Amino acid sequence: MLRCPACQAETAPPLLQVRAAALHTSPLREWIHLLKYRQRPDLVAPLARYLVAALYQPEWKGFLGRIDGVAPVPLHEQRQRERGYNQAELLARELCRRLGLTLRSDLLRRARFTRAQVQLSAAERQANVQGAFGASPACAGLHLLLIDDVFTTGATLRACASAARAAGAATVCALTLAMPVHFEMG
């Protein structure tokens, strides 16, 4: 299990912890690309196995039993129309189905359209998602698990967690399928 260096710092909030199930290397990198850009939702079930296995690691022991809801990182409605689905939501749904957790796609929303982050630096990613997410007051008091496909700099996950915490979430942790070999903190 890979740890996010940012979450080892003393100022870890708004994210209590972030983990990636694996490195963003071949063949996982290609499978994520197929899911995300090539209309391959059939890959969700095998990819979700990575998330399930990750949640059974010792560092999740104290949090797994307290998860009130699993919230996928939301896409803007325009991007979701283009893609046909939100890959994070499909992964979160399958994770919930396998572990009996509650999917909470209603808690976070993409408040504004942002440009694709793929070619952006860490600082540009941070600026790109600043204020891009909103959260429902229904977050109040909940222990949430955010799900996304790739953790690159943490900007998106931190922005989502900040919105959830501002709406009153008790704790927010995040789990992604993959993290790059060379981590660049945003």
Q: Each residue of 27-46: pLDDT tens digit? A: 999 999 999 999 999 999 99
- The larger pLDDT score, comparing residue 4 to residue 138, is at 138
Look at residue 91 and tell me if it is in a domain: yes
Look at residue 186 and tell me if it is in a domain: no
Look at residue 156 and tell me if it is in a domain: yes
CA distance linking residue 176 with residue 2, whole number of Å: 10
| Overall number of domains in the chain | 1
The structure's pTM equals 0.87
User: Does residue 124 carry a pLDDT above 60?
Assistant: yes
CATH number of the domain at 163, please.
Answer: 3.40.50.2020
- The larger pLDDT score, comparing residue 182 to residue 149, is at 149
Look at residue 185 and tell me if it is in a domain: no
Look at residue 36 and tell me if it is in a domain: yes
**Domain enclosing residue 53, as ranges:** 2-112+121-179
| Paired tokens of 44 | 């969700």
Look at residue 184 and tell me if it is in a domain: no
Would you say 178 and 22 are in contact if contact means Cβ atoms under 8 Å apart?
A: yes
Mean pLDDT for 136-157 is 94
Q: Quick check: bond before 5 cis, omega within 30?
A: no
